[in-house]
């Protein structure tokens, strides 16, 4: 029996809980503990046997953890935590601020590499699996176009933006791909699509007492970056309806590469996800890449890595020869 | 300007022609020549400036070729050619006899490794891209099931089987996924499906003069392995209709992984291809992996490889930092 890979979970929000649950599905992985800045009694783990450890003690676990999975947010947690922890641990994170990936990569690499650690950044489905499919698409069909559609799904960032509006007590926002646009892309027509033509946005809003619906609706629909470039529908609902019908976190989307080969034969590659729980799926991807991070480090392959740098076979608990025999 | 990667094409059937055409879409690759056992005047290259070289002279090109793309068949050509050529060249091939992959891998590895060559086997879409998606599926969602559907598309093997029947002058066979089964899988229901429930088969047959339709139809429908386990439809058509309507080589299919996370949330990952030209698409995949084979060899990573062993970033002409910035 090979020894299990020892995982530390940093942070215990939706993602941390998803990681705990995903690791329970993998026999070759085990959880050393959950590291948190919160008081231990504020956390309710799925498995109460797992130790809850103060974040400030984390360096005491350098020899006891093979890989840390960083479950904090890209805005406030990871920019500091990622580089700090990669100096002491192999890490995997889901840093997803696309525009800042290059500088984040450099910061993590500068910290991991001289310390002989392996740090896989920006893991999940976008960035992550969707990025891989964009890469395969353009590498295999150089003459063509790549289209990414998101949804139907709950967007955390857009929901937060609506919640910040005065008069809004609660809200969720769904991003919805425009079916007509998706069909056009699938047909191989290589359409040029504007932002508005690709997605619509749908908001479910609970008003504060005394707030004026018309005013709130206007504030949402004209919000720059978030809503102004989209066709947005706003539904006003009760607090009860919000918690009853809109507390799940579904998401998904498509990456479609449409290209031409030879004398103009259309070739369409499509990748799609239909997720009932976005955070649980992201966590499942993080866990598979934690296995890869451990293996890369074992073979001396250190520094910052992305999904582009990792041979897919490293994600599987199966041996290379079993993979060739069973699923190649 | 970085120097171009020099490719040799071995064999010039549909796949070889597809490789020639795919390389013309990639600025960082160039063709040294087409190696063939046929008389040069029997070959009609798309670009007549490319040298046609007798196969027997191939070893004279050891220093002039970076990667050979082997475009022969899995039944008669590759079992010998693969191991032979991997002793002298970096190679990429599309060996697709699933059951024999393990032994083919060993034979190629035994030849490539001691000679410092890199040989990527079983590249294409199945085995190849579909295999990768089966791997990602089960690594990310360990509790679930993987479904592979093929079609709608022309199956060369089944078409050949029909052509061997007495009284058949010409024929093509299409493999068609059963829509109801695909929908059931997509819904996350994890159905158990028999062979018959997953695909149907449709044959278009031209009879020899005097052949009896009923007899031929019976011979097709009862053929073990190929047709007996399927619902098969046979259409009799004229030679003219066959060449007018059935000379394209479309194909495609789906790999669907349906799994559960957390408290039983359904998560569905789907990969699909819709190809107007099966050989041209396979060729395009071969060409991207030829780039990877060259790079692996440059960094001293030798021996036999499969798509599972190759970091996706190696497929792209872009630098790692450009990939992180542009498509991660």
pLDDT in tens, A232-260: 999 999 999 999 999 999 999 999 999 99
| Neighbour tally for A279: CB within 10 Å | 25
B142-201 residues touching A, CB cutoff 8 A: 142-143, 146, 186, 188
Task: Name every chain B residue with its beta carbon within 8 A of the beta carbon of A272.
Answer: 269-272
Residue A83, phi then psi, degrees to nearest 5: -60, -40
CB pair distance less than 8 Å for A306 and B328 = yes
CB pair distance less than 8 Å for A26 and B142 = yes
Task: Name every chain B residue with its beta carbon within 8 A of the beta carbon of A136.
Answer: 129, 312, 315
- pLDDT bin (cut points 50, 70, 90) of residue A2 is confident
As a whole number, mean pLDDT of residues B83-88 equals 98
Helix (H) or strand (E) run with residue B92 in it? strand B90-93
Give the distance from CA A184 to its chain's centroid: 27
CB pair distance less than 8 Å for B277 and A288 = no
Q: Could you tell me which of A66, A76, A74, A138 has the C-alpha nearest to residue A105?
A: A74
CB pair distance less than 8 Å for B135 and A315 = yes
B254-293 residues touching A, CB cutoff 8 A: 261-262, 265-277, 280-281, 283-285, 288, 291
CB pair distance less than 8 Å for B328 and A140 = no
A11-50 residues touching B, CB cutoff 8 A: 18, 21-22, 25-26
State the Cα–Cα distance between residues A256 and A270, nearest whole angstrom: 4
A80-109 residues touching B, CB cutoff 8 A: 98, 101-102, 105
Report the half-sphere exposure of A209 (CA within 13 A, side-chain side).
0
Tokens 């449409």 found at: A258
Strands in B303-305's sheet, in edge-to-edge order, are B52-54, B29-36, B5-10, B67-70, B90-93, B118-120, B303-305
CB pair distance less than 8 Å for B26 and A142 = yes
Nearest residue, CB atoms, B308 vs list A186, A267, A328: A328
Task: Give me chain B's average pLDDT, please.
Answer: 96
| Ramachandran quadrant class, A243 (left: phi over 0; alpha: psi -120 to 50; beta: rest) | alpha
Residue A258, phi then psi, degrees to nearest 5: -120, 125
Please check whether residue A309 is in contact with residue A131, taking contact to mean a CB–CB distance below 8 angstroms. Answer: no
Best of B16, B312, B321 to disrupt the A interface (most A CBs within 10 Å) is B312
Q: Could you tell me which of A65, A61, A55, A57 has the C-alpha nearest to residue A29?
A: A65
State the Cα–Cα distance between residues B73 and A328, nearest whole angstrom: 18
E strands, chain A, where?
5-10, 29-36, 52-54, 67-70, 90-93, 118-120, 144-150, 153-154, 168-177, 199-207, 231-236, 251-261, 265-275, 303-305
Please check whether residue B153 is in contact with residue B174, taking contact to mean a CB–CB distance below 8 angstroms. Answer: yes
CB pair distance less than 8 Å for A328 and B122 = yes
- Decide: residue B84, CB within 10 A, 0-12 exposed, 13-18 middle, 19+ buried: middle
pLDDT in tens, B6-52: 999 999 999 999 999 999 999 999 999 999 999 988 999 999 999 99
Report the half-sphere exposure of A131 (CA within 13 A, side-chain side).
27
3-state secondary structure A41-72: HHCCCCCCCCCEEEHHHHHHHCCCCCEEEECC
DSSP annotation string for B4-72: PEEEEEE--SHHHHHHHHHHTT-TTEEEEEEEESS-GGG---SSTTSPEEEGGGGGGGTTT-SEEEE-S
Nearest residue, CB atoms, A311 vs list B98, B271, B311: B311
CB pair distance less than 8 Å for A270 and B268 = no
**Cβ of residue B309 closer than 8 Å to a chain A Cβ:** yes
Tokens 């999904």 found at: A307
Q: Is the pLDDT of residue B324 over 60?
A: yes
Task: Name every chain B residue with its beta carbon within 8 A of the beta carbon of A281.
Answer: 140, 261, 267
Q: Is the pLDDT of residue B2 over 90?
A: no
Task: Name every chain B residue with its beta carbon within 8 A of the beta carbon of A140.
Answer: 281, 284-285, 288, 315
ipTM of the complex: 0.96
| Helices assigned H by DSSP within B99-155 | 101-112, 129-140
Q: Is the pLDDT of residue B121 over 90?
A: yes
State the Cα–Cα distance between residues B245 and B264, nearest whole angstrom: 47
**Cβ of residue B203 closer than 8 Å to a chain A Cβ:** no
Report in angstroms the alpha-carbon separations of A110 from A103, A106, A308, B68, B224: 11, 6, 19, 38, 61
Task: Name every chain B residue with its beta carbon within 8 A of the beta carbon of A253.
Answer: none
Best of B140, B183, B296 to disrupt the A interface (most A CBs within 10 Å) is B140
State the Cα–Cα distance between residues B264 and B259, nearest whole angstrom: 9
pLDDT for res B57? 97
Please check whether residue B58 is in contact with residue B32, taking contact to mean a CB–CB distance below 8 angstroms. Answer: no
Best of A308, A321, A323 to disrupt the B interface (most B CBs within 10 Å) is A308
Nearest residue, CB atoms, B308 vs list A281, A285, A312: A312
Integer-rounded Cα Rg, in Å, for chain A is 22
Q: What angle do CA B273, B277, B278 make, to 5 degrees?
A: 65
Give the distance from CA B226 to its chain's centroid: 19
Task: Name every chain A residue with its beta carbon within 8 A of the beta carbon of B18.
Answer: 261-262
Tokens of B324: 């992180």
Tokens of A131: 């990025």
Best of A149, A324, A325, A326 to disrupt the B interface (most B CBs within 10 Å) is A324
Q: Is the pLDDT of residue B61 over 70?
A: yes
Residue of B nearest to A324 (CA): B102
Q: Helix (H) and strand (E) counts for chain B?
A: 11, 14
| Ramachandran quadrant class, B232 (left: phi over 0; alpha: psi -120 to 50; beta: rest) | beta
CB pair distance less than 8 Å for A312 and B135 = yes
Please check whether residue B140 is in contact with residue A315, taking contact to mean a CB–CB distance below 8 angstroms. Answer: yes
Task: Name every chain A residue with its beta carbon within 8 A of the beta carbon of B107.
Answer: none
Q: Helix (H) and strand (E) counts for chain A?
A: 11, 14
- pLDDT bin (cut points 50, 70, 90) of residue B110 is very high
Q: State what percent of residues in chain B have pLDDT above 90.
A: 97
pLDDT for res A234? 97
pLDDT in tens, A179-190: 999 999 999 999
d(CA A259, nearest CA chain B) in Å: 10
pLDDT in tens, A11-59: 999 999 999 999 999 999 999 999 999 998 899 999 999 999 999 999 9
Task: Name every chain B residue with its beta carbon within 8 A of the beta carbon of A98.
Answer: 328
State the Cα–Cα distance between residues B2 and A119, nearest whole angstrom: 30
Residue of A nearest to B105 (CA): A324
State the Cα–Cα distance between residues B293 and B37, nearest whole angstrom: 25
**Cβ of residue A141 closer than 8 Å to a chain B Cβ:** yes
Please check whether residue A296 is in contact with residue A118, taking contact to mean a CB–CB distance below 8 angstroms. Answer: yes
Tokens 């890199």 found at: B118
CB pair distance less than 8 Å for A315 and B22 = no
State the Cα–Cα distance between residues B299 and B312, nearest whole angstrom: 16
Alpha-carbon dihedral sign for residues A138, A141, A146, A151: negative
Burial readout B151-176 (b: 16 or more C-beta within 10 A, e: otherwise): bbbbbbebbebbeebeebebbbbbbb
Task: Name every chain B residue with its beta carbon within 8 A of the beta carbon of A138.
Answer: 316, 327
Q: Could you tell me which of B253, B258, B257 has the C-alpha nearest to residue B272?
A: B253
CB pair distance less than 8 Å for A327 and B277 = no
As a whole number, mean pLDDT of residues B55-62 equals 97
């Amino acid at each position: 029996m090979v020894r299990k890979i020892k995982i530390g979970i940093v942070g215990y929000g939706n993602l941390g809980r998803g990681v705990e649950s995903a690791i329970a599905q993998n026999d070759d992985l085990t959880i050393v503990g959950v590291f948190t800045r919160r008081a231990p009694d504020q956390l309710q783990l799925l498995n109460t046997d797992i130790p809850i450890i103060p974040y400030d003690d984390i360096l005491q676990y350098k020899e006891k953890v093979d890989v840390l999975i960083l479950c904090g947010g890209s805005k406030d947690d990871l920019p500091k935590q990622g580089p700090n922890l990669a100096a002491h641990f192999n890490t995997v994170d889901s840093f997803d601020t696309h525009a800042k990936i290059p500088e984040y990569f450099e910061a993590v690499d500068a910290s991991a590499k001289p310390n002989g650690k392996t740090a896989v950044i920006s893991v999940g489905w976008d960035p992550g699996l969707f990025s891989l499919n964009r890469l395969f698409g353009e590498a295999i069909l150089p003459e063509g176009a790549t289209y990414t559609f998101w949804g139907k799904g709950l967007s955390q960032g857009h929901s937060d933006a609506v919640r910040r509006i005065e008069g809004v007590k609660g809200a969720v926002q769904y991003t919805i791909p425009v079916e007509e646009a998706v069909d056009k892309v699938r047909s191989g027509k290589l359409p040029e699509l504007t932002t508005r033509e690709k997605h619509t946005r749908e908001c479910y809003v609970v008003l504060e007492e005394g707030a004026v619906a018309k005013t709130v609706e206007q504030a949402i629909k004209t919000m720059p970056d978030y809503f102004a470039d989209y066709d947005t529908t706003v539904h006003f609902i009760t607090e009860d309806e919000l918690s009853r019908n809109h507390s799940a976190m579904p998401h998904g989307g498509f990456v479609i590469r449409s290209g031409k080969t030879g004398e103009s034969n259309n070739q369409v590659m499509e990748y799609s996800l239909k997720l009932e729980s976005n955070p649980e799926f992201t966590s499942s991807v993080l866990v598979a890449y934690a296995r890869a991070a451990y293996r890369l480090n074992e073979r001396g392959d250190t520094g910052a890595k992305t999904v582009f740098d990792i041979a897919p076979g490293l994600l599987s608990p199966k041996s290379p020869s079993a993979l060739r025999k069973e699923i190649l």
